[in-house]
Amino acid sequence: MALFGRSAGRPPLEGVDTVLADLDGVVYAGSGAIPHAVDSLIRAASDRRLGYITNNASRTDASVAAHLRDLGLPTEPADVVTSPQAAVRLLATRVPAGSTILVVGGDGLVSEIEKHGFVVTRSARDRPAAVVQGFAPEVGWTQLAEAAFALATPEDDGGIPWIATNTDWTIPQARGIAPGNGTLVSAVHTAVGRLATVAGKPEVPIFEEAVARFSSRAPLFLGDRLDTDILGANRAGIASALVLTGIDRPKHVLAAPSGSQPTYVLSDLRELHEPYPEVIRKDGVVRVRDARVRVDGADVSILAAGGSQIDLLRAGAHAIWDTGRQIFGFRVPDRLYADPFHRP
């Protein structure tokens, strides 16, 4: 079951002093806002702190803040915690100050590395002290090849460190789902047979930085991915809400392993302000409002679909999660996989 308890009828924001939101798939997809996200976050920020955590390394914190302001969200660069910031903090523990770093990525990563006194190169011929890799749309074969050349020697045999800002496999865009930094990191891994050290979500440091920066004692993290957003929040001991407006869909919620189960499952961010239903367990039946689901051996049965697909999904997810078993061991009715929710 999920790591944080639920109180009957209380909105997810009750008792929260800081909302920490992922960006891609939660606030926006490409350049445009996710439906209902801006108004919901403005309302949330009326009596609590609002900050952002992003694994997207392609832009600076200042450019992200400007984008959010264009969407109608008052934002300063200090409100944005980025994976390049986490990568540079990790880098500083691995190589001497002022070292030359081979950067695979865009302006957001280059700016952060130079801001901390490191020298940026794009060529392995410059004998870099480390490789730092992050997503940017313009990354191509040439940059990936230079990283592979620089990383040819394993670190245990005297090779240099390799730090990845994140390993998200996909990234939501206005036109659909596109390959993310994980695919680019995997390309280098295939060439060199090494694994990168990851700085961003789901690793804990980026969450710890956000909590410290905003002096938060009761944060709530909003994300659209179970394997990075929710897993990372759980590792950091932060309550989380998965919002079904980005990458992960109902089928992923039902299959979530114990470490990636969110505190809340929301169809969109309006539900931050609505009473969250209690999950009631009685005589082997899991009920959420008028939706009821039971697990009998390998069969997941819908006893009552109720009037809301999101409540049926919540009931089905908890019924499966409570068994502690993986979903491929069950016969799951198609109705639980229904996906009427917004997607990029």
Residues known to be catalytic: 22, 24
Cβ atoms 172, 143 nearer than 8 A: no
DSSP codes of every residue in 135-183: --TT--HHHHHHHHHHT-S-GGGT---EEES---SEEEETTEEEE-HHH
Q: Which residue has the tokens 């994300």?
A: 223
CA separation, residue 149 to residues 125, 152, 154, 165 (Å): 9, 5, 12, 19
Structure tokens at 42: 């403005």
Buried b (16+ CB within 10 A) or exposed e, 68-98: beebebebeeebbbbbbbbbbebbeeebeee
Neighbours of 227 (CB within 10 A): 20
Structure tokens at 336: 């639980």
Pairing of strands 18-21, 264-266: unpaired
